[in-house]
Amino acid sequence: MKALSQRRRHPLAAFALLLMALLVTGGLYAAASTANEAQAQTTTFTADDVEEGSKLFSANCASCHGMGATGSQAAPSLVGVGAASVDFQVGSGRMPMQMDGPQAQAKPVQFTEEQTRQMAAYVASLGAGPAIPSEEILDASEGDPSAGGELFRVNCAMCHNAAAAGGALTQGKFAPSLEGSSEKHIYEAMVTGPQNMPVFNDANIAPEDKQDIIAFLKTIEEQGSPGGADLGSLGPVSEGLFIWVAGLGVIIAFTVWLTSRSS
């Protein structure tokens, strides 16, 4: 906080304030989802959970995924996708899907953490699949960010961008930015391969390696760019646009002032 108060005295205070507001919002969100996650891990699924989940599923998901989650023409079977898949898709707001499109997009979350857990319990009861990761493995402070960075660049950066800012896929699909994604969702995405993302099972990237990747992502997200505003971390395109619009714009304003007659 000391550093923050130092920054407040700077000429870019308004800018910094905006950044700070964004960081605080992000932080609150992160805190909230960590708390929820702890809840989700306290118990294993009970028969009641499965029962409640089954009801929720019939009411909210079965129209597409079919009764018994065996799938239909509109949506795939969920037998064997595991609790992690449900927790990711519903917990990140991707499911229930609002409309047909190239891919399910993240939206405001529709269900409470409890309801999500119950649906996960139900789907997990239909067949074995990836489970919701334990808290220990999600602890970013235990991971090695530089080892995670190497794995991230080889396995993830080609779709999600080296700074995790996201990227395009074919026919309107895209790999989302990972900024603000919770540790749990990052982990679940790797083990379940949502949408068109490939599955990175534990034989491919071991759980400790996944923890390293999460550590890397959280490190670069927390520390930000040393050079100032990162212009979306989109690389030379945003830099080029910036110099043409802002850089040249300011220079032109100066040239007009410089060559105009004083009143």
Scan residues 58-77 and list those touching another protein (CB under 8 A). Answer: none
Residue 107 CB, nearest approach to another protein (Å): 14
Of 15, 39, 48, 127, the one binding another protein (CB under 8 A) is: 15
Interface of this chain with another protein, residues 118 to 157, rule: CB under 8 A: 145-151, 153-155, 157
Task: Indicate whether 204 belongs to the interface with another protein (CB under 8 A).
Answer: yes
The residues pairing with 175 across neighbouring beta strands, listed in sequence order, are: 167
Site for another protein in 225-244 (CB under 8 A): 225-231, 233-237, 239-244
Element containing residue 167 per DSSP (H, E) = strand 167-168
Query: What does DSSP assign to residue 243?
Result: I
Nearer to another protein, 53 or 82 (CB): 82
Least separation in angstroms between CB 111 and another protein:
25
Q: Is 8 in the site for another protein (CB under 8 A)?
A: no
DSSP state of 47: H
Residue 174's SS3 state is strand
Angle between helices 47-60 and 113-126 (to 10 degrees): 100
Residue closer to another protein (CB basis): 60 or 219: 219
- SS3 labels along 245-260: HHHHHHHHHHHHHHHC
- CB 66 within 8 Å of CB 77: yes
Contact 175, 169 (CB under 8 A): yes
Q: Do the Cβ atoms of 49 and 117 come closer than 8 Å? A: yes
Question: In the complex, what is the shortest distance from the CB of residue 144 to another protein, in angstroms, rounded to a whole number?
Answer: 8
Closest alpha carbon to 200 in 211, 208, 189, 191: 191
**74 or 158: CB nearest another protein:** 158
Q: Identify which range of 35-43, 121-129, 131-139, 158-166 contacts another protein by CB under 8 A.
A: 158-166
- Give least dist CB 195 to another protein, A: 7
Structure tokens at 160: 């999600």
If one asks whether residue 261 binds another protein (CB under 8 A), the answer comes out as yes
Instruction: Check residue 98 for interaction with another protein (CB under 8 A).
Output: no
